[in-house]
Structure 1
Amino acid sequence: MKISKSFLALDFAGSSGAVDVLVREATRFFRRVASDMHLSESEFTIREDRHSGEDGYVALHADALYVHIRKAPNRAGIAILYRTCRGRDDHAGGKDNFVSFTQLMSHSGYQSFLSNLRLASGLKIA
């Protein structure tokens, strides 16, 4: 999967512009993930918070799956995590699973990520 270089090279040193890029690129990424998982618009929600601390975040929330992108805590770069959940009001859910964006840059890495999301959410692996 092609991942925007600007998304990977974000510097969050108090930059609202970097948060705007994070929100824009993460929303685009999640729309692609939802499409590749064959989720209809009614089966997921994309939420954003540009003011969470100073970092902002974006989350894809389905009935059994929560995926979250934000500035990585305690290090440079972006963190992506996914976990199970029980409905769209569940923000705690199951155990966090982390994925690096470098893994997602290869076709096989991205397909593995999608398979893990399908498995976590109980969807058929296509």
Structure 2
Amino acid sequence: MKEGSQLTHAEAGHRYDVFHTDCPARNVVDHVTSRWGIWVLISLRSNDLRFYELRDSIQGISEKMLAQTLRALVQDGLVWREVEPTTPPQVTYGLTEFGQDVGEPVTDLFDRITQRLSPRSPG
């Protein structure tokens, strides 16, 4: 069973103003650009992952922060969550179409930064 909602397209000609505190798009922007939101989107860019695989792919994230970040991104419709009714339950996460669309420029930014950095010297 997959969970996740998705923001619907705005009415023709209507744009969100993320500079207003009551803008619904502002929460999504905050979640995507949060300390861990970006890393979740980048980690899920090419593969669906189980919770522990995702945790292991993002060094430094605690289980609590990963769970909170995933909960927000699922609620925003960027990430889907599938629970297999096994014992214990197996939970898999992946990017929705919306998440792939939002994650593409984030991944491009990540790739540009890593390509332009000077090589690290060993040591």
Fold match by TM threshold 0.5: no
Q: TM-score range by the shorter chain?
A: under 0.3
Greater relative contact order, per chain length (Cα 8 Å cut-off, separation 6+): 2
Higher-helix-fraction structure: 2
Q: TM-score, normalised by structure 1?
A: 0.25
Q: TM-score, normalised by structure 2?
A: 0.25
